[in-house]
């Protein structure tokens, strides 16, 4: 799944996905295109990280999430 957040005309994206070798990946793509990937053993850890991330960026002025399933 993909989610976008917007702030002052810039977009930040993150993805939650299954890892190629099992587990899960949390990938953040910054407005400049820089990618950051974190790996998790189970979906509960991934969900916790997503919630923490959304709280942080919302407090920094990002609006959203705007997203859909692909």
**If pLDDT is split at 50, 70 and 90, which confidence band does 69 have?**
low
User: Which pLDDT score is estimated for 24?
Assistant: 97
What backbone torsions phi and psi does residue 26 show, to the nearest 5 degrees?
-120, 115
pLDDT above 80 (res 32): yes
What backbone torsions phi and psi does residue 56 show, to the nearest 5 degrees?
-65, -50
Sheet holding 10-18, edge to edge: 35-40, 24-29, 10-18, 2-7, 63-68
User: Which pLDDT score is estimated for 66?
Assistant: 85
**If pLDDT is split at 50, 70 and 90, which confidence band does 4 have?**
very high
Mean pLDDT of 35-42: 96
User: Which pLDDT score is estimated for 10?
Assistant: 96
User: Which pLDDT score is estimated for 60?
Assistant: 97
């Amino acid at each position: 799944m993909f989610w976008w957040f917007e702030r002052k005309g810039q977009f930040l994206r993150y993805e939650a996905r299954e890892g190629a070798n099992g587990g899960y990946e949390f990938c953040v793509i910054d407005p400049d295109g820089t990618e950051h990937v974190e790996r998790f053993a189970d979906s509960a850890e991934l969900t916790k990280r997503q919630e923490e991330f959304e709280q942080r960026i919302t407090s920094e002025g990002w609006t959203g999430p705007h997203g859909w399933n692909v």
